C-alpha cells in the first residue's frame, strides 16, 4: 500500500524514536554505572530484597486482577446503556484518576476509607468494628483499584463499542439470552483486549511508589521502586540502584514481551464510535443490574474526589490562585506538561509510522519483525525504569556542562513524556491505523502525500485522538512528582511540588486547596480530551 | 523530527528559565532545603537582612530536604556552585565530611549554643529541635509519658512515623530507640510495630495524616505545637514529654572548599549565629534558635516540652552503623 519512499520514511521515523529513547535511557544508566561509587555498600540481594520483590509482584497481580474483574461489569453495563443519564460525564470522570497526582488521590481515599473516613464511620454505625483498613495490603489494593478500574473500564468500553451494529441486530433476531450475548459477542471482544489492559495495569502497579509508601503501612508492604529510590536518595549507591532497576526491568519485561505479542487495546472507539442500537438488556433485572454496576463504580470514584473538594474549599482559594508562588509553579507545570505532551504525541506518531511501515511489508524478515516488537515494547518499557534513575543518571551526565538547573525543565519534560508514551500510544495507534486503512487508496489516487496529505486528510480525522492523547499526557505530567523530586529547586517548582512544600511548612490547608486546584486543572484537560463525544454519539 | 523535538525543548527551557540578567555584584550561593526558602520559611527574610549588610546577592538553591542536599553535593562533587550548605543535621555530618568537599570555618562559633554543647570545626549549628511524639488532645487523654509507654501502650492508639530510609525524622526515631534500648531495639520495634498505623516517606505525609485526624499521634518535634499555638491560636496539639529524654536534631551549615569568596562565606556563617538571623528561625522554621535572639521567644515557646535529657549520637557512630541498624529495623518491622 505504501510507496517505497513512504515505507522508508516510516522506518526512519521508527528507528529515530527507538534510538532516541534507547539513548536517553542508556546514557542515564551508563552515567550511573561509570560513577565511581568508592566504598558504597553494594549489598544487592539481601533476603529483604527478595521479600519486597515477592510483595511487589503479589500486590501488582492482585491489583490487576481486581481492577479488571470489577471493570468488566461496569464496561458491559455502560456499553449496554448508551443513553444512561450523565453517561458522558461518567466516562469523563473515569479519565480523571489517571491524571490525579498520587498523593492527592491517596489523601482523598483516606478521607473516605480512612479510620476517620465516611465509609468506616458508616460501617461502624452498622455495628462493624474497623471494617476496612486502608493501610497495608488492603489499602494498596483499594487505591490501585481506584486508580486503575476506570482505566480498564474505559479501554473495555472502547472495545465493546467497536462491535459492529449488525451483531446486535443479529443477536436480537436470533433471540439470544443475555448469557449467550455475553458468551458469543461481548466476551470475545473483551478477551481480545484484556491481556493488554492487564499488562498495562500490572506495570503501573508494579512500579507504584508514593501510594505504596503512604498506604503500605511499613516495610512489610513495600516495593522494589522504594528500594531503588532509597539507594539513590539516601545511600547514593548508584550500582545498587542500577542492579535493583535491572531486576525490576527484567522481571516485568518478561510479562511485557508476552503482552507485546498480543493485540494492543485502544481508546479510539470512544471518540470514533458511531451510534449503535442495542436490543438486549431490556428486562427489569438487567436494567437494575446495570444501574447498580454503574452507580457503585461512580460512587466509588466520586467519593474520594468529593473528599478532595471538601478539604480544598476550606482553603482560601482566591488568595492561593493569586499568589506569585502559585502563578510561577502553574506556569512551570504548564510549560513542562505541554512540552511533554507534544513530545509524547510526536514520538507516538513516529513509532506508529515505523510499525506501520513494517506491517506494510509483504514478507517482513526476522529483523523487521524484531524491530516492530521492540518498537511496541519500547513505548512501555520506559514505564519500568524509575524516573529517579533516569534523572540521577542525566544529572551526572550534564553536570560537567554547567548548572543542571538549566537543563532540568527539559529533562523533566522528557521523563514525563516517556511516562505518558504508553497511554498516548494506546489512544493513537488504533486511530491512526484505522484511518490509514480507510484513506490510503484515496490519498494515493489523489496523489496527495507528505504535508498536504497530513493537512487535508489526516488532521481533520485525527485531530480528536491527537487532542485526547495530548491532554492525557499533559494531565499525567501535571500530576507527576517523581521526576521533579531530584531536580526540584527554587528554580523549578511545579504544582505537585508546591503541594509538598506547603505540607512541610505546616500549611496543610493550603496544600488541600492547591490539590483541589490541580484536580480541577486535570479535569479540565480530560474534558478537552473527551470533547466531541456527544457529537460523535449522535452523528 | 529531531529538530522539532530540539526546538520544543529549547522553547521549554527558555520559557521556564527566563533568568534575570546577572548583576555584576558578588553572589553567595546557599544550598538548603525547600521549606527553608518557601514563602513561609526563613529564607525571604534572611535574604533581605543579609543583603543589606554584605553588598552582595544571596542566592538560595532549595532541594527537598537535608538528605537530598547531601546527595546533591555528592552528585555535583567539586564542580558544585554552592558556597554554603545549610540544612544538614548532625547525623549526616560524618558523611558530609567524607565527601572532602567541606572546609573548616576557622571562626569563633561560641555564639551558637545547643543542648549537649555540640560544636564542630566545620559545621556551625543554626537551630535545633527535639524529636517528640505530638498528639491530638481531643483524641488522647493519657499520652505516653515515656518511650517505654509508647512502645508498650495500647496498640489501638495509632501513631504515624517516618521511614528512616527516606527521611531525617525517621532516622531520628531509629536512633532514639537505639539510644534507649541498645541491643534490645529489635524487640522494641517489634512491639511498637503494632501501634504504627503507617510509615510514610517523609515528615509531610505523616503530619498531613495527623492534622486530618486520621491518626492521633505523629512523630515530629517538641516545637510543632508552637506553630499551632502561634499561627492557629489553638492548644489542641501537644508534644508528649518522655521521661527517658528526647533525641535531638541539630541543623548545621558549613562552607564548601570550592567557594569563590571565603570571606563572604565566613561572613554569612557569622551572620547566621547573630540575632538578625536567629530572630527569624523560631516562627518560620519552627525550631529552637541556636544562638541569642534580640527579643524573647513568643510565649508559646515557654509552654513547650523541655526535655530533661538530650540524646545525641556521634555522627561517626551513626555513619558506621546506619545501614546495619536500618536492616535491623526492616527485619523487625516486616515480621508478620
Q: Which pLDDT score is estimated for A263?
A: 57
Q: How many other C-beta atoms are found inside a 10 Å radius of the C-beta of residue A516?
A: 22
Query: What is the residue whose three cell numbers read 496529505?
Result: A453
CB contact under 8 A, B207 and A236: no
Q: Which pLDDT score is estimated for B22?
A: 46
CB contact under 8 A, B39 and A490: no
Closest CA to B93 of B64, B115, B111, B67: B67
Of B168 and A41, the structure prediction assigns the larger pLDDT to B168
Q: Which pLDDT score is estimated for B336?
A: 57
Instruction: Determine contact: B89 vs chain A, CB below 8 A.
Output: no
pLDDT for residue A262 is more than 70:
no
pLDDT tens-digit profile of A47-91?
A: 778 888 888 889 999 999 999 999 999 999 998 888 888 888 888
Query: What is the residue whose three cell numbers read 538549566?
Result: A406
Instruction: Determine contact: B330 vs chain A, CB below 8 A.
Output: yes
> Cell triple for residue B208?
498531613
Q: What is the Cα–Cα distance from A306 to A313, expressed in whole angstroms?
A: 11
- For A323-339, the DSSP string reads SHHHHHHHHHHHHHHHH
Of A258 and A135, the structure prediction assigns the larger pLDDT to A135
Strand B310-311 to strand B246-256: parallel, antiparallel, or no bridges (unpaired)? parallel
Instruction: Determine contact: A54 vs chain B, CB below 8 A.
Output: no
pLDDT for residue A44 is more than 70:
no
Of A267 and A227, the structure prediction assigns the larger pLDDT to A227
Strand B246-256 to strand B102-103: parallel, antiparallel, or no bridges (unpaired)? antiparallel
Distance of CA A457 to the CA centre of its chain: 29
3-state secondary structure of A76: helix
Q: Would you say B189 and B239 are in contact if contact means Cβ atoms under 8 Å apart?
A: no
pLDDT band at A118 (very low <50, low <70, confident <90, very high): confident
CB contact under 8 A, A48 and B12: no
- Kindly give, in sequence order, each residue whose CB lies less than 8 Å from that of residue B333, ignoring residues fewer than 6 positions away: A218, A219, A220, B189, B193, B196, B199
Q: Where are the beta strands (DSSP E) in B155-313?
A: 159-162, 196-200, 217-221, 237-240, 246-256, 288-289, 310-311
CA atoms within 13 A on the CB side of A147: 30
Give me chain B's average pLDDT, please: 89
Q: What is the Cα–Cα distance from B18 to A343, expressed in whole angstroms?
A: 22
Nearest CB partner across the interface for A488, out of B64, B207, B329: B64
Of A468 and A405, the structure prediction assigns the larger pLDDT to A468
Closest CA to B244 of B320, B182, B165: B182
CB contact under 8 A, B166 and A504: no
pLDDT tens-digit profile of A160-192?
A: 887 777 788 888 888 888 888 888 888 888 887
- Kindly give, in sequence order, each residue whose CB lies less than 8 Å from that of residue B318, ignoring residues fewer than 6 positions away: B91, B94, B175
pLDDT for residue A239 is more than 90:
no
Instruction: Determine contact: A33 vs chain B, CB below 8 A.
Output: no
Q: What is the Cα–Cα distance from A512 to A494, expressed in whole angstroms?
A: 16
Q: Would you say A84 and A519 are in contact if contact means Cβ atoms under 8 Å apart?
A: no
Q: Would you say A224 and A52 are in contact if contact means Cβ atoms under 8 Å apart?
A: yes
3-state secondary structure of B126: strand
> What residue of A is the nearest CA neighbor of B213?
A116
Query: What is the residue whose three cell numbers read 490501585?
Result: A144
Q: Which pLDDT score is estimated for A366?
A: 78
Among A447-451, A478-482, B200-204, top mean pLDDT goes to B200-204
Instruction: Determine contact: A23 vs chain B, CB below 8 A.
Output: no
Q: Which pLDDT score is estimated for B136?
A: 97
pLDDT band at B12 (very low <50, low <70, confident <90, very high): very low
- Kindly give, in sequence order, each residue whose CB lies less than 8 Å from that of residue A526, ignoring residues fewer than 6 positions away: A92, A95, A96, A99, A471, A472, A475
pLDDT for residue A421 is more than 70:
yes
> Cell triple for residue B209?
495524616
Q: What is the Cα–Cα distance from B167 to B249, expressed in whole angstroms?
A: 12
pLDDT band at A154 (very low <50, low <70, confident <90, very high): confident
Which chain A residues are within 8 Å of B12, Cβ to Cβ?
335-336, 338-339, 409-410, 413
Of A276 and B217, the structure prediction assigns the larger pLDDT to B217
Instruction: Determine contact: B37 vs chain A, CB below 8 A.
Output: yes
> Cell triple for residue B192?
511498637
Q: How many residues does chain B have?
A: 336
A115 to A134, A219, A303, A478: CA distances (angstroms): 8, 20, 15, 29
Closest CA to A151 of A9, A266, A316: A266
> Cell triple for residue B277?
538571623
DSSP A182: I
pLDDT for residue A378 is more than 80:
no
Q: Would you say A37 and A237 are in contact if contact means Cβ atoms under 8 Å apart?
A: yes
pLDDT tens-digit profile of B237-248?
A: 999 999 999 999
- Kindly give, in sequence order, each residue whose CB lies less than 8 Å from that of residue B89, ignoring residues fewer than 6 positions away: B66, B168, B249, B250, B251, B252
Q: Would you say B65 and B48 are in contact if contact means Cβ atoms under 8 Å apart?
A: no
pLDDT tens-digit profile of B149-163?
A: 999 999 989 999 998
pLDDT for residue B16 is more than 50:
no
What share of chain A has pLDDT > 70, as a percent? Answer: 88
Read off φ and ψ for residue B56, nearest 5 degrees. Answer: -145, 175
Among A195-209, B258-272, B322-336, top mean pLDDT goes to B258-272
Q: Which pLDDT score is estimated for A489?
A: 59
A15 to A18, A254, A355, A446: CA distances (angstroms): 5, 23, 10, 29
Q: What is the Cα–Cα distance from A139 to A120, expressed in whole angstroms?
A: 13
Instruction: Determine contact: A51 vs chain B, CB below 8 A.
Output: yes
Give me chain A's average pLDDT, please: 81
Q: How many other C-beta atoms are found inside a 10 Å radius of the C-beta of residue B94?
A: 16
DSSP B200: E
What's the per-residue H, E or C state across A429-458? HHHHHHHHHHHHHHHHHHCCCHHHHHHHHH
Nearest CB partner across the interface for B13, out of A406, A489, A507: A406
Amino acid at each position: 500500500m505504501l510507496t517505497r519512499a513512504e515505507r522508508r520514511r516510516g522506518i526512519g521515523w521508527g528507528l529515530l524514536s527507538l534510538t532516541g529513547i534507547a539513548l536517553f535511557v542508556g546514557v542515564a544508566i551508563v552515567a550511573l554505572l561509570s560513577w565511581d561509587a568508592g566504598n558504597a555498600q553494594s549489598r544487592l540481594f539481601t533476603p529483604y530484597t527478595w521479600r519486597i520483590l515477592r510483595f511487589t509482584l503479589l500486590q501488582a497481580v492482585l491489583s490487576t486482577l481486581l481492577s479488571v474483574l470489577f471493570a468488566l461489569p461496569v464496561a458491559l453495563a455502560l456499553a449496554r446503556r448508551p443513553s444512561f443519564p450523565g453517561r458522558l460525564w461518567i466516562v469523563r470522570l473515569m479519565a480523571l484518576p489517571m491524571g490525579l497526582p498520587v498523593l492527592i488521590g491517596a489523601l482523598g481515599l483516606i478521607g473516605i476509607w480512612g479510620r476517620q473516613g465516611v465509609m468506616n464511620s458508616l460501617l461502624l454505625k452498622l455495628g462493624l468494628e474497623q471494617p476496612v483498613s486502608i493501610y497495608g495490603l488492603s489499602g494498596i489494593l483499594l487505591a490501585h483499584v481506584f486508580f486503575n478500574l476506570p482505566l480498564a473500564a474505559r479501554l473495555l468500553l472502547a472495545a465493546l463499542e467497536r462491535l459492529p451494529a449488525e451483531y446486535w441486530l443479529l443477536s436480537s433476531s436470533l433471540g439470544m439470552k443475555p448469557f449467550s450475548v455475553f458468551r458469543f459477542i461481548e466476551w470475545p471482544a473483551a478477551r481480545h483486549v484484556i491481556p493488554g489492559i492487564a499488562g498495562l495495569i500490572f506495570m503501573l502497579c508494579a512500579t507504584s511508589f508514593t501510594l505504596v509508601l503512604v498506604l503500605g503501612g511499613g516495610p512489610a508492604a513495600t516495593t522494589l521502586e522504594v528500594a531503588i529510590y532509597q539507594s539513590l536518595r539516601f545511600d547514593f549507591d548508584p550500582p545498587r540502584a542500577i542492579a535493583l532497576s535491572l531486576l525490576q526491568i527484567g522481571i516485568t519485561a518478561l510479562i511485557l514481551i508476552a503482552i507485546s505479542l498480543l493485540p494492543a487495546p485502544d481508546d479510539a472507539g470512544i471518540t470514533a464510535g458511531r451510534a449503535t442500537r442495542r436490543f438486549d438488556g431490556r428486562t427489569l433485572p438487567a436494567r437494575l443490574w446495570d444501574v447498580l454496576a454503574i452507580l457503585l463504580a461512580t460512587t466509588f470514584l466520586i467519593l474520594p474526589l468529593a473528599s478532595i473538594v471538601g478539604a480544598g474549599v476550606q482553603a482560601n482559594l482566591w488568595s492561593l490562585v493569586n499568589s506569585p508562588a502559585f502563578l510561577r509553579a502553574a506556569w512551570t507545570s504548564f510549560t513542562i506538561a505541554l512540552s511533554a505532551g507534544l513530545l509524547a504525541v510526536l514520538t507516538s506518531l513516529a513509532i506508529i509510522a515505523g510499525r506501520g511501515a513494517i506491517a506494510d511489508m509483504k514478507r517482513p524478515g526476522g529483523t523487521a519483525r524484531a524491530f516492530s516488537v521492540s518498537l511496541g515494547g519500547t513505548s512501555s518499557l520506559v514505564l519500568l525504569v524509575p524516573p529517579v534513575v533516569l534523572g540521577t543518571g542525566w544529572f551526572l551526565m550534564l553536570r560537567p556542562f554547567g548548572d543542571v538547573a538549566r537543563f532540568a525543565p527539559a529533562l523533566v519534560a522528557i521523563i514525563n513524556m516517556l511516562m505518558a508514551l504508553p497511554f498516548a500510544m494506546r489512544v493513537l495507534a488504533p486511530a491512526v491505523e484505522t484511518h490509514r486503512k480507510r484513506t490510503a487508496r484515496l490519498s494515493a489516487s489523489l496523489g496527495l502525500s507528505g504535508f498536504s496529505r497530513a493537512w487535508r486528510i489526516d488532521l481533520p480525522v485525527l485531530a480528536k485522538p491527537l487532542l485526547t492523547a495530548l491532554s492525557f499526557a499533559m494531565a499525567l505530567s501535571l500530576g507527576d512528582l517523581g521526576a521533579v523530586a531530584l531536580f526540584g529547586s527554587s528554580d523549578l517548582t511545579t504544582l505537585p511540588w508546591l503541594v509538598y512544600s506547603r505540607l512541610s511548612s505546616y500549611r496543610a490547608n493550603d496544600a488541600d486547596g492547591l490539590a483541589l486546584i490541580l484536580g480541577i486543572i486535570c479535569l479540565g484537560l480530560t474534558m478537552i480530551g473527551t470533547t466531541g463525544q456527544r457529537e460523535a454519539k449522535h452523528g | 523530527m529531531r529538530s522539532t523535538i530540539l526546538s520544543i525543548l529549547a522553547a521549554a527551557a527558555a520559557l521556564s528559565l527566563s533568568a534575570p540578567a546577572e548583576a555584576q555584584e558578588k553572589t553567595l550561593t546557599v544550598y538548603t532545603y525547600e521549606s527553608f526558602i518557601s514563602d513561609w520559611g526563613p529564607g525571604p527574610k534572611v535574604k533581605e537582612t543579609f543583603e543589606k549588610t554584605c553588598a552582595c546577592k544571596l542566592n538560595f538553591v532549595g532541594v527537598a530536604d537535608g538528605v537530598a542536599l547531601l546527595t546533591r553535593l555528592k552528585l555535583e562533587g567539586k564542580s558544585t556552585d554552592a558556597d554554603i550548605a545549610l540544612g544538614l543535621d548532625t547525623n549526616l555530618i560524618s558523611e558530609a565530611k567524607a565527601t572532602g568537599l567541606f572546609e573548616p570555618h576557622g571562626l569563633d562559633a561560641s555564639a551558637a549554643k545547643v543542648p549537649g554543647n555540640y560544636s564542630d570545626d566545620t559545621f556551625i549549628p543554626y537551630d535545633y529541635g527535639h524529636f517528640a511524639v505530638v498528639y491530638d488532645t481531643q483524641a488522647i487523654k493519657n499520652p505516653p509519658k515515656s518511650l517505654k509507654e509508647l512502645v508498650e501502650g495500647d496498640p489501638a492508639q495509632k501513631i504515624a512515623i517516618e521511614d528512616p530510609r527516606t527521611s531525617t525524622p525517621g532516622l531520628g526515631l531509629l536512633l532514639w530507640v537505639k539510644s534507649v534500648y541498645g541491643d534490645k531495639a529489635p524487640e522494641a520495634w517489634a512491639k511498637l510495630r503494632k501501634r504504627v498505623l503507617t510509615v510514610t516517606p517523609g515528615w509531610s505525609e505523616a503530619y498531613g495524616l495527623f492534622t486530618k485526624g486520621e491518626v492521633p499521634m505523629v512523630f515530629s518535634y517538641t516545637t510543632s505545637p508552637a506553630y499551632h499555638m502561634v499561627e492557629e491560636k489553638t492548644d489542641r496539639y501537644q508534644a508528649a514529654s518522655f521521661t527517658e529524654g528526647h533525641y535531638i536534631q541539630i541543623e548545621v551549615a558549613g562552607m564548601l572548599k570550592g567557594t569563590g569568596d571565603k570571606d563572604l562565606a565566613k561572613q554569612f556563617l557569622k551572620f547566621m549565629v547573630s540575632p538578625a538571623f536567629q530572630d527569624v528561625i523560631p516562627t518560620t522554621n519552627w525550631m529552637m534558635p541556636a544562638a541569642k535572639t534580640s527579643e524573647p521567644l513568643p510565649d508559646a515557646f515557654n509552654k513547650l516540652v523541655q526535655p530533661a535529657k538530650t540524646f545525641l549520637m556521634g555522627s561517626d557512630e551513626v555513619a558506621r552503623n546506619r545501614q546495619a541498624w536500618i536492616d535491623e529495623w526492616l527485619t523487625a518491622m516486616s515480621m508478620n
